[in-house]
Structure 1
Amino acid sequence: MQIVHAPHIPVRDDWLARREEPVLEPDLQIVDAHHHLWDRQTGRYLADEYAKDAGSGHRIVSTVYVQCRSMLRQDGAASMKPVGEVEFANGIAAMFASGAYGPTKCCQAIVGGADLTLGSELEPVIEAMLQVSGGRLRGIRNPLAWHDNPTVRSSPVVPPRDLMSSPSFRQGVKTLGRFGLTLDVWVYHTQLEQLYVLARSIPEVTVVVDHFGGPVGVGPHADERERMFVEWKRGLERLASLPNTRIKLGGAGMNVFGFDFASRDLPPSSEDLSAAWRPYFDTCIEFFGATRCMFESNFPVDKGMFSYGVLWNAFKRLATSMSADEKAALFSLTAALTYRLQIDGDKL
């Protein structure tokens, strides 16, 4: 896989501090369905940093850690290197389970990063991940976001163009079904047709679509956002027709979405964010329904554009007109059911 410069927006804590808001609906139970942890040249975001964000006033009861190539094993076979990331996330989960970092059960579910093209070598990797996960491994994600224009980048890893169509990759996804694991997927709207074909071929595997399904607002799509929206909406509707699909609402703090909030003098308010994201939110609810949608922070990636507290206020504003049951689904139950989390004493 080709490695390019990470296109994430730098986090500026002093800039973020210029926008403070009272927490809306502070008692609403939240599962953060998608976040990362890392220690890189671009910055550190580990237990202390996440605990500070999770403790900003919203009731974050549990979280889902998602693959980001953190703490890969230095030694051993290349296929086994991602086992280190699961081991790392499980260690963070144990730290939070002690209560020393607040009430949040961070990394209660883990989405790892085993190479799904490994064929017969995949099962030993997944078995090793299960052994070191403390029973928390729930899914696998591989880099899949690909675009033919080099200005469209959201990750330092660029996968092969047609990886989803690869027979070895598809066989790997079928292997996930035998272990009861989800397939998490981050793709652009230009890839939704490929994803539909893949998801249709594996009805036994739950496919979790990250980040609103990837509506791209940069590069060749920057001046044709209306056309992009129509194409994204068409692809998403077809994907939602498959009962084994779920979607995460979030990730719009990445450059690839095309929002310019990070270039402004003041960080965006929750009103700014909810207004900008309303068309995407409404479309996802229309096609998937609340019981197949879940909110995600995508921190620390999205932290370059807004704070954790403002983000969840924005989500709560988006859900203002929803019923109590729909809110429960969006903020906690869909994620809990998808990733088999235990919240409020009930294992779902």
Structure 2
Amino acid sequence: MGRVRGRSEVIRRYRRYGPLTTPRTRGVALGWVCVALVGLIGLVGMAFDVGTLEVAAQRCQEVADGAALGAATQLPTSAVTPTAIAIADANKTEGHGWPVGLAAGDVKVYGPGASLGETTLPMDANAVEVTVRGPVRFGFIRLLGLQTATARRTAIAMRGVNAEAFPFIPLWIDHTTADDARWAPGTTNILMADGPSYEDIPGSFGFLDPGSNSMFRTLLSGGALTEAQLNECVYNIDDTVTAITGKRVGHWTQDLGARITAGSTGIYADDTAASYDPGNPRVIITALVTYTGGTGDGATFVIDGFVAFFLEDLVNVTGDKAIQARFLDYYIPGDETWGIPSFDGFYSVKLIV
């Protein structure tokens, strides 16, 4: 019989020769770890570069929004492009430090009726489109042959009259009242037909007929109007307009009171006649007229111009309700002082894209 090897001898042989596969696999795991680390570092680097591009794009959007809103305040004048470029230049190195640029060719102006995405510019509205660009230099992505990229973002701002809180109200004002307010600035009580030529127009109280009672109350209260209704509210110099009678005091004071409430809350909370946000429903424009004849609902007037005023309050004057207003501006063609329309306090500016 052969000699039976003891346990200690078997162990010595195993330790001497070791497993047959050991020399072939030694170091393979370390190699795979190195490859994985290279790939991981590459992914992290790409993520960093992509993040850099996204932050640069966000910076471009911020500058584009500011430039568009600032330029829109100058619509429809020739100062739009210089204003947009000046705002962009002032913000070149602000924020996250990415330089941004705006060229004159990247500022575009649109007029009424233009279609901008889902928005069609209404009557008396204009818009400006601003595209801001910012260069980005890559780090890790450069290994793939892409050295730089340009972030680009666009903003469109519109300047127009609000369809909600539309500033025109169907109210006539006589020349005597307007002249007194022109030469004696301050609050003025209007609405009552106190001129001598209006003694035979009972109950008119200075209101004009806009075509329907619902339209009348919507205009007075500053309710939202459709585009078609806005087009119906166009009044021109030398137009003949008709008085409307029988309006309940409780109704028109309630409607004008809604304007005062809306114009005294939110962004308008601190507004006054001396300082107010564009679009405040308390800023009103109405017709300056000359009485031409008739009585009651048959009374007619010719529009000589327009006046803008800030609706201060509704007050009692000798037992009757009156509008307490502070006149802001006038447009009277041919007038030496007020012959050129310049007031734009009822226009508001907002981003639409």
TM-score band w.r.t. shorter chain: under 0.3
For normalisation by structure 2, the TM-score amounts to 0.23
> Larger radius of gyration, structure 1 or 2?
2
The structure where strand makes up a greater share of residues is: 2
The structure where helix makes up a greater share of residues is: 1
For normalisation by structure 1, the TM-score amounts to 0.23
